[in-house]
Amino acid sequence: MKKILISDPTLRDGNHAVKQQLTLEQVAAYAASANAAGVPIVEVGHGNGLGASSLQVGMSLLEDGAMLKAARENLTTSKLGIFLIPGFATINKDLRPALDLGVDVVRVASHCTEADTTQRHIGFARECGKEVYGVLMMSHMAQADILLQECRKMESYGAEGVILMDSAGASLPFEVSEKVKSLVDHLNIAVGYHAHNNLGLAVANSIAAAQAGAVILDGTACGFGAGAGNTPLEILVAVLAKYGYNTGIDLYKMLDAADVARAKLVERTPVISSASLVSGLAGVFSAFSTPVERVAREYNVDPRDILFELGRRKAVAGQEDKIVEIADELARKKSRGTPE
Amino acid sequence: MTQPVSKLKVAILGSGNIGTDLLLKTLRSAYLDCTLFIGRNFNSPGIAKASGMGIRISDRSIDAIINDPSGCDLVFDCTSAADAKRHWPILQQLGKIVVDLTPAKIGKMCIPAVNLHDCLGSQNLNMITCGGQASIPLTHQIGIIHPNAQYMEIVSSIASRSAGPATRLNIDEYVETTEGAIQSFSGCRKAKAILILNPATPCIDMQTTIFAKIDNPDMEKLTVAVNDAVAKVQKYVPGYHLILPPTREGGRVVIMVKVQGRGDYLPAFAGNLDIINCAAIAAAEAFAQSPRKMKQHR
Amino acid sequence: MKNSAHQIIEQDCEQVLTGSVEQLGGMRGETLLITGGTGFVGTWITELIAHLNDHYQFGTRVKLLSSQESNSRFMAPHLGVRKDVEFIRQDVRTIADLPVDVTLLIHAAASPDTRLHASDPLRTIRVITQGTDAALAAAARLPRLKRTMNVSSALIYGAQSWEVNAMSETYSGGLLDCSSMLSSYAEAKRVGETLVAAYRNEHRLPIVNIRPFAFIGPYQRLDRPWAINNFMRDGLLGGPIRILGDGETVRSYMYASDMAFWFLRILLDGVAGRSFNVGSPVGIRLKDLAEQIGGCFPVPIPVECRGLIDGKGKRSKMIPDVGVAETLLGLSIKVDLETAIQRTLLWNQKQSGKNE
């Protein structure tokens, strides 16, 4: 039976859905239930990873260290994972202290064309003996051959796998297959896929990735995550089983973990709002939806217009400041009465 | 009877993009004369360009200055942090003023719009980072008006094409150096710097957003101070523009500036390289016009 | 002091020279210059020559040419204070002149670090192509030059076909995509070999070409992204030893002392214009290698296979056929892999023990 390694960023990507306000109790509760379900890797942190608590992408309620400690205490068989983006997190301030707290798995991410920013961080985590993966964000924005080059960079830095992240939920199954297959054919390391649900295709894209040779898949409980949400993990686990893949996760206990998430974490199960759908179509980072809606209200402009404009400008994760700039421009156009 | 104005003799150590761009800026300066353009490798495009313009070149690195100590009075060091650290004791001995564009963090931090005058007493000036040069003139003002500001954050976006292998390998250093400088110049104890590489084409100009957490910000005062500071910076960085004046937005104050480079050597979108070079030139020109400096080298 | 770790090097040198000192007799009284001399290869050759000078009165002089950057990573400062060793700080790309007393030249300047190839392909290409051109141009004007050697790379062959047991110097079955930036190092090395042939033709340069495969030994940085380095480092850190893939990939490793001996022997007596593979012809599966390394520790360190794709792992081979070196020059492998691993681990342990 083919094996799939599941990595669960409910307590990381999911943090976006509560504007980085996950509490110690929530972290502890979910970590314990994921551990009980046999989820191999539980990823914890601010939505944008280690060291990302900021005015740019949201101040988190908890400090990185506190979240990691709360999770660590509740993970016995599951591994504790972190995610970080160089440019937000540094080795000295963020990564080293996190590793000292007993993190097992490190994912170092960059925009899909900027893998060489991850060299030092991947190297450091590897030298500390940790399981290290590279992540390419907004992977819909690059062709297969570019993705391959960037993955090879991460491979040379010591990553033992690379995960394509569909941050905008913009991909279609055939695109996923093509890209994953190209990587699987040419890399010596594992390939993974992290889908988002803006076009309602997260599970389908994940299955397409698995069938193209990906061996790592991400999913969150109830799809808990920014905007339209992530691949719902309980659904993914069940569907993978139907396709004949072995995740090592107990289905009933995973459903229980989803219940815990529903009760304690999720204010509402992710819904594909029109803003989320539009951001998927525009190819814009999912987590933009929340600040876009807020700024749109403040400036009295249509959030969908902001999103399409962000997509047109190819805004990447971390550039939330552009939202204000665009809203400002749209508001001025509106007040000038130009129907554009 | 007036003496002819003699320009300050400057050497540029490091023939990469930064050094070559600096060379072109010195040629435009009324106060600086580039007497030596130094690299390690005659094949570098910068050396080829300098040579083609008739500038004296060398591939002997620091030895070029050691072997001709009277050839220059001020040195722009655009090599690397490790090399700058090696160069400094030698240049210090030789009585040269060093304007350091590397992350070596040896000398006095210099932001021309803020502390140029104070820097003239120092023999080594540390030009911090591009993000620092773009934001500190403003964060400094915020710190003056609101000494109780709780937190400052600057986010710089630069075009991917303007970030070479050295930048990409040293992002951590960039972040930590910038944060330290923000704290130092604003008095605010908590600071964060974020760097984002944007691959969009056409390439974006450098853009820096400044966030500050302030209880009851005085928006009028801030606006006046920011406008003043921007005008000061524009004197030596013509491509520096305020694109979002101080705005209160969701419990924080936001300011945005954009830097378009002059396009002297690299294309205009590389505003990040341009601003640190412009600052370095401004610092050197201040030395050139300072009688104290002249006395030092008589 | 370096004594304890350095003893390993001394023993290795003595062992590889036993019964073979006169095969390197041509080094007596000569002046050898190595470009990229402060790297792994240059350091080991210098150790071997130092040993020949100290114990066999060879009177050989060594000049190590390297850029400032590389110089600062030199791992054997005790060699630097020797009277028979000199450093020349020079970027290989712009060598204008080489010292006129040089009689032997090994051009080894390049970086085999795949991280650099990925992050800075242009620099990778330039150092190899411009560097080889400049070094050979300068060599061609040396009045007393007797022999030159170009250090190419096994990567010039492209990927070894699984059906082929070992690649001989005439192997042409490998594929390289010259339009991919990922081929920067391999393609640049191929151009390097063409430059060698052109210099031999136009300038009658007495030059031999070698294609090194994989090596292991003291002085090699364990953070280099190669399997055996990773396995050793994982082991020294307490494990587990992690293999990416199913471990069916086959590689071979030559110990550093054999490497240094082979390099010098080929330099002295290799037929000009020929290429020689240098490496161990004895292949080993990475899985077995990892287990062997794990077994070298007092408490055996477990091995983990990562990234298993239902057994369908990506496997590759890279094994040299060294028949030419063996037949023409009587070269042989004196240090088996087991010993190579043990010595390397021991040296690394002594090195880090000293640094605490």
Helical ranges in B94-152 per DSSP H: 112-119, 130-145
Beta bridge partners of residue B98, listed in sequence order: B75, B124
Overall average pLDDT of the B101-119 stretch: 94
Q: pLDDT tens digits for A285-300?
A: 877 777 888 899 999 9
Distance CA B121, CA B125 (A): 10
The ipTM (two decimal places) reads: 0.91
CA dihedral A181, A183, A185, A190 (to 10 degrees): -100
The 10 Å Cβ neighbour count of residue B6 is 10
Question: CA–CA distance from A55 to each of A326, B152, C32 (Å)?
Answer: 18, 9, 60
Residue B72 pLDDT > 50, yes or no? yes
Q: Smallest Cβ distance to A188: which of C118, C237, C244? A: C244
Overall average pLDDT of the B281-285 stretch: 97
Q: pLDDT tens digits for C82-120?
A: 999 999 988 899 898 899 999 999 999 998 888 899 889
The 10 Å Cβ neighbour count of residue B99 is 26
**By C-alpha distance, which of A242, A185, A195 is closest to A216?**
A195
Closest CA in chain A for residue B255: A321
Taking the Cβ of residue A299 and every Cβ of chain B, the question of whether any pair is shorter than 8 Å is answered with: no
Give percent of chain A with pLDDT exceeding 70.
98
User: Percent helix, strand, coil in chain C (nearest 5)?
Assistant: 45, 15, 40
- Contacting residues for B274 by C-beta, under 8 A, at least 6 apart: B21, B237, B239, B259, B260, B261, B262, B264, B266, B268
Q: Where in chain A is the domain with CATH 3.20.20.70?
A: 5-264
Strands C241-244 and C303-306: parallel
Residue C241 is which amino acid? I
Q: What is the 3-state secondary structure (H, E, C) of chain A?
A: CEECEEEEEEECHHHHHHCCCCCHHHHHHHHHHHHHHCCCEEEECCCCCCCCCECCCECCCCCHHHHHHHHHHHCCCCEEEEEECECCECHHHHHHHHHHCCCCEEEEEEECCCHHHHHHHHHHHHHCCCEEEEEEECHHHCCHHHHHHHHHHHHHHCCCEEEEECCCCCCCHHHHHHHHHHHHHHCCCEEEEECECCCCCHHHHHHHHHHCCCCEEECEHHHCCCCCCECEHHHHHHHHHHCCEECCCCHHHHHHHHHHHHHHCCCCCCCCCHHHHHHHHHCCCHHHHHHHHHHHHHHCCCHHHHHHHHHHCCCCCCCCHHHHHHHHHHHHHHHCCCCC
CB distance B117 to B139 below 8 Å = no
CATH architecture group of domain A5-264: Alpha-Beta Barrel (3.20)
Question: CA–CA distance from C341 to each of C109, C113, C222, C228, C320 (Å)?
Answer: 26, 21, 13, 9, 19
Beta carbons of A87 and B195 less than 8 Å apart: yes
Q: Give the pLDDT score at C308.
A: 55
Instruction: Tell me which chain B residues have a C-beta less than 8 angstroms from the C-beta of A325.
Output: 243-244, 256
Q: Give the pLDDT score at A174.
A: 97
Q: Which subunits have 3 or more CB–CB pairs within 8 Å of chain A? A: B, C
Closest CA in chain B for residue A56: B155
Distance CA C34, CA C64 (A): 5
Q: Give the pLDDT score at B86.
A: 93
Beta carbons of C309 and A215 less than 8 Å apart: yes
Q: Say which DSSP state C160 is in.
A: B
pLDDT, mean over chain B: 92
Q: pLDDT tens digits for A147-198?
A: 999 999 999 999 999 999 999 999 999 999 999 999 999 888 899 999 999 9
Overall average pLDDT of the B228-257 stretch: 94
Closest CA in chain B for residue A119: B169
CB distance A222 to A250 below 8 Å = no
Q: b/e string for B51-84 if b means 16 or more Cβ within 10 A?
A: eeeebebbbebbebbeeeeeebbbbbbbbbbebb
CATH architecture group of domain C4-218+254-280+319-334: 3-Layer(aba) Sandwich (3.40)
Taking the Cβ of residue A161 and every Cβ of chain C, the question of whether any pair is shorter than 8 Å is answered with: yes
Taking the Cβ of residue C117 and every Cβ of chain A, the question of whether any pair is shorter than 8 Å is answered with: yes
**By C-alpha distance, which of C136, C281, C299, C263 is closest to C203?**
C136
Residue B132 pLDDT > 70, yes or no? yes
Distance CA B11, CA B69 (A): 11
Top residue of B158, B177, B198, B257 to mutate, by most chain A CBs within 10 Å, is B198
Beta bridge partners of residue C167, listed in sequence order: C320
Count of CB pairs separated by less than 8 Å, A with B? 88
- Contacting residues for A144 by C-beta, under 8 A, at least 6 apart: A178, A179, A182, A183
Looking from the CA of B114 toward its CB, the CA atoms found within 13 Å total 24
Strands B57-58 and B97-100: unpaired
Confidence of residue B251 (pLDDT cuts 50, 70, 90): confident
Q: Which subunits have 3 or more CB–CB pairs within 8 Å of chain C? A: A, B
Instruction: Tell me which chain A residues have a C-beta less than 8 angstroms from the C-beta of B192.
Output: 54
Residue B196 pLDDT > 70, yes or no? yes
Beta carbons of A93 and B176 less than 8 Å apart: yes
Distance CA C151, CA C277 (A): 10
Q: Give the pLDDT score at B298.
A: 39
Confidence of residue A318 (pLDDT cuts 50, 70, 90): low
Closest CA in chain A for residue C118: A153
Is B52 in a helix, a strand, or coil? helix
Instruction: Tell me which chain B residues have a C-beta less than 8 angstroms from the C-beta of A93.
Output: 176
Kindly report the backbone phi and psi dihedral angles of residue A191, in degrees, each rounded to the nearest multiple of 5, phi listed first. Answer: -120, 140
Q: Smallest Cβ distance to A319: which of B165, B198, B243? A: B198
Distance CA A324, CA A56 (A): 11
**By C-alpha distance, which of A167, A164, A168 is closest to A180?**
A164
Beta bridge partners of residue A109, listed in sequence order: A135
Q: Which of A303-307, C111-115, C180-184, C261-265 has the lowest mean pLDDT?
A: C111-115
Top residue of A312, A321, A325, A328 to mutate, by most chain B CBs within 10 Å, is A321
Tell me the CA end-to-end span of chain A in Å, nearest whole number. 56
- Tell me whether residue A129 is exposed, middle or buried, using C-beta atoms within 10 angstroms of its C-beta: 0 to 12, 13 to 18, 19 or more: middle
Closest CA in chain A for residue B195: A87
Distance CA C248, CA A155 (A): 18
Looking from the CA of A31 toward its CB, the CA atoms found within 13 Å total 28
Closest CA in chain A for residue B191: A54
**Chain A closest CA to C235's CA: distance in Å?**
10
Instruction: Tell me which chain A residues have a C-beta less than 8 angstroms from the C-beta of C115.
Output: 119, 123, 153, 156-157
Q: Domains in chain B, start-ordered, CATH in brackets?
A: 8-127+277-296 (3.40.50.720), 130-268 (3.30.360.10)
CB distance A308 to A327 below 8 Å = no
Q: Which residues of A are catalytic?
A: 16
Distance CA B42, CA B36 (A): 14
Confidence of residue C183 (pLDDT cuts 50, 70, 90): very high
Q: Which residue among B72, B130, B188, B278 is the active-site one? A: B130
Q: pLDDT tens digits for B21-61?
A: 999 999 999 999 999 999 987 878 899 899 999 999 998 88
Confidence of residue A338 (pLDDT cuts 50, 70, 90): low
Overall average pLDDT of the B87-114 stretch: 95
Q: Smallest Cβ distance to A56: which of B175, B194, B247? A: B194
CA dihedral C335, C338, C343, C349 (to 10 degrees): 160
Residue C313 pLDDT > 70, yes or no? no
**By C-alpha distance, which of A323, A271, A276, A272 is closest to A301?**
A323
Q: pLDDT tens digits for C256-299?
A: 999 999 999 999 999 999 999 999 999 999 999 999 999 999 99
Block residue for tokens 């939505």:
A47
Q: Give the pLDDT score at B82.
A: 86
Output the CATH code of domain A274-336: 1.10.8.60
Residue B293 pLDDT > 70, yes or no? no
Beta carbons of C115 and A157 less than 8 Å apart: yes
Top residue of C182, C226, C234 to mutate, by most chain A CBs within 10 Å, is C182
Distance CA A28, CA A161 (A): 28
Confidence of residue C355 (pLDDT cuts 50, 70, 90): very low
Instruction: Tell me which chain A residues have a C-beta less than 8 angstroms from the C-beta of B160.
Output: 113-114
Beta carbons of B151 and A55 less than 8 Å apart: yes
Q: Where in chain A is the domain with CATH 1.10.8.60?
A: 274-336
Beta bridge partners of residue A7, listed in sequence order: A41, A218
Beta carbons of C94 and B43 less than 8 Å apart: yes
Tokens coding C71: 């110089």
Q: Give the pLDDT score at A124.
A: 95
Distance CA B255, CA B149 (A): 15
Distance CA B196, CA B108 (A): 27
Return the ∠ at Cα A164 (arms to A158 and A168), rounded to 5°: 140
Residue A66 is which amino acid? A
Q: Is the peptide bond before A291 cis (omega within 30 degrees of 0)?
A: no
Q: Smallest Cβ distance to C120: which of B42, B43, B165? A: B165
Return the ∠ at Cα C8 (arms to C3 and C12), rounded to 5°: 140
Residue C43 pLDDT > 70, yes or no? yes
pLDDT, mean over chain A: 93
